[in-house]
Structure formats: structure tokens, C-alpha cells
Chains A and B, each alone.
Chain A
Amino acid sequence: MRAPSRHVPRKITDLSMTTMVDVVFLLLVFFVWTSSFDIPDEDLPGPLARVERDSPNDLTNGQERQDLSESIRPDELVVTIMMAESSRVPAFGFGTRQVSGWPQLQSELKPLLELASSPPPIVLSPASDITMDQITTTIDSLRRIGWPTVSLLATEP
């Protein structure tokens, strides 16, 4: 007759939920700690068009504005943005030319990119009623067709 075994190993089939929840919460805390809650901003870097002061007085004084001389180099292309009265599309001016809408400006500027080995720097001079959205769109569009840096004019045109 076979003697029954005394030490039969018992299988533990039930999982301890408490330990598992502990670990899950620790992982959760770790991931929350190392992650970010909001979408990061992106940058459109660009120089400010240099302003040279002829007078040491405060620049905010309106009377001193006439004394300012902008040091825009002759090889720089000044592009003005203005709102046409009868249109919601901004108009652009450069040199003596004026075009309405971004596609026309693009077709006017593209030959400059093809002619010159390096494109002339662009200084953007928006009118006072042009919104930041329109300025950003213009800078973005110019960068997209080949102008890596677009300056923003810090004085009135």
C-alpha cells in the first residue's frame, strides 16, 4: 500500500489585488510626473529691423519718432502689409509694386529667389490694423518658399 505524500504543494490561484493596484498607481504617478499636460508652443525666430536713435531721449515719446532713422540696408526688401478697403484679403507692397493676396506676392517674389544666389533679406512692415494672425501667416508663407529669416520692422514705415 502506498503511503500518501504529506507535503503536497498547494497552488495559489488568487492574485492579490492590493499589490497590483499599488504597482499600477506607482506607474501612473511616474508617467504623470514625467509627462507634460499642455501642447508646447513653437517658434518663428526672426531679427528685429534695427532702429538707430539720433536722440538719447525716450523712444516712447511721440515727438522723438521723427528723429529715428531705420538702418534698413539697400539690399533689403521691405514688404508692407495693408488691408485693402473693399477686400478681406491683405494687400502687399514692395518697391513701387502693390499686389493683392498671398498668391500674387508669391509669384512676384519667386523670380528673386531664382535670380539671386542668396535671397535678399525681407523686412516686413505691417500696417497698424494688420492682426498678428496675418503677420504670422505672411512670415510662415515667406519661410515656406525660401526666405529663412524675415525681419519685423519695429518702427512705423
Chain B
Amino acid sequence: MRVPDSGRRIRSHRINMTPMIDVVMLLIIFFLVSSHLARREVRYPVDLAAADTAAMIDPMDGSIPITIDAERRIRFVGEIVTLEQLATRVTMKQQRSSTADPIRLRIDRSVPFETVQPLLRQLSAVGVDSISIATQGK
């Protein structure tokens, strides 16, 4: 004898894959984009001095960053260089550009002037007549 159907529907335990794949793809895109941006914005971390009267940087001004870290290493666009190499690279960069790109000095607040002065001398020798000192806003 056949048991009569009680009318209850059997619940499906199969997972719908389509929305799950949607969400997984979105997560992948999110992590790819955020890691890409994190790489692009990497700057050598230095503890900059604070200043009240400093002006905001125009990100499109094409400035050339020169960093001196707490260990007194000079970095030109992220690469450790000597003073002589720095002079050559700044000259090349200035010649390549139609306008004189401003030089931005990102110097750790603990660095003494005896480390900075040779750099200023070298910049002055290759024709740089103005600089910007990078600070952190108060």
C-alpha cells in the first residue's frame, strides 16, 4: 500500500552556486584593487617634523622626492643613492622635464643638519634654487 503524500515539500539542501560565485568574484576584485593601491602609495616611512604654516601638496605638480631616513640614507625615488649619484639623477630628471620640477625633501626629524647640508650643496651645485621641506600637518 502506498503511503499518501502528506503535502510537505522536501527542503533542498543544495547550495545555489551562482550568487556565491558573484560574491567571491567581488571579493577577489576588492582585494586586488586594495593591494594594488597599497603598493602604489607606498612611500618610505619617515617621521617628518610638524608645521602649522605648511601648504597642502598638489599631487599633480610632478615634484621629485628625496628622502633621508633616520639611518641617514639618501633615497631618490625609493632607491638608496650616494650624493654623486643623486646629482646625476636630479640633473637627468630636470633635463627630461620641460619645466623645472620642484624638489621635495622628506627628511626624518631626527636627522642633524650635518647630514642635510651636503645634500643642499649638491642640489645647489646642479642648479636647484628652491626646495620644499615635507612636513606632517599638526
CA distance A144 to B38 in the complex (A): 35
B78 within 8 A of A: no
| Interchain CB contact under 8 A, A60 and B23 | no
CB contact between B113 and one of A32, A127, A143 (< 8 Å): that residue: A127
| Interchain CB contact under 8 A, A37 and B19 | no
| Interchain CB contact under 8 A, B41 and A37 | yes
Residues 128-144 of chain A, each 1 if its beta carbon lies under 8 Å from chain B, else 0 = 11111101110110011
Chain B residues with CB under 8 Å of A129's CB are: 112-114
| Chain-B contact segment, one of A3-11, A18-26, A101-109 | A18-26
| Interchain CB contact under 8 A, A42 and B118 | no
CB contact between A22 and one of B22, B38, B107 (< 8 Å): that residue: B22
CB contact between A154 and one of B55, B124, B134 (< 8 Å): that residue: B124
Chain A residues with CB under 8 Å of B123's CB are: 48, 154
Contact size class for B? 35 or more
Residue of B nearest to A147 (CB): B53
Residues 24-41 of chain B, each 1 if its beta carbon lies under 8 Å from chain A, else 0 = 001101100110011001
Nearest-Cβ distance from residue A73 to partner chain B, whole angstroms: 14
Contact size class for A? 35 or more
Chain A residues with CB under 8 Å of B109's CB are: 131-133, 136
| Interchain CB contact under 8 A, A28 and B55 | no
Knowing A43-B55, A45-B130, A156-B117 touch, does A50 contact B108 (C-beta < 8 A)?
A: no
| Interchain CB contact under 8 A, A60 and B118 | yes
B95 within 8 A of A: no
CA distance A50 to B83 in the complex (A): 19
Chain A residues with CB under 8 Å of B71's CB are: none
Knowing A42-B55, A126-B113 touch, does A133 contact B49 (C-beta < 8 A)?
A: yes
CB contact between A41 and one of B30, B57, B102, B125 (< 8 Å): that residue: B57
Nearest-Cβ distance from residue A101 to partner chain B, whole angstroms: 18
B56 within 8 A of A: yes
| Interchain CB contact under 8 A, B49 and A154 | no
B122 within 8 A of A: yes
Knowing A51-B125, A53-B125 touch, does A41 contact B106 (C-beta < 8 A)?
A: yes
- What is the interface of chain B, defined by CB distance below 8 A to chain A? 19, 22-23, 26-27, 29-30, 33-34, 37-38, 41, 43, 48-57, 59, 83-84, 102, 104, 106-114, 116-118, 120-125, 128-137
For this complex, 21 residue pairs linking A to B, each with C-beta atoms less than 8 Å apart, are: A29-B33, A42-B55, A43-B54, A43-B132, A43-B134, A44-B55, A44-B134, A45-B132, A47-B131, A48-B131, A51-B121, A60-B122, A132-B108, A132-B110, A132-B111, A132-B112, A136-B50, A140-B135, A152-B131, A154-B123, A155-B124
Q: Top 8 A-B pairs ranked by shortest CB distance?
A: A42-B54, A128-B114, A136-B49, A18-B19, A154-B120, A133-B109, A140-B51, A25-B26
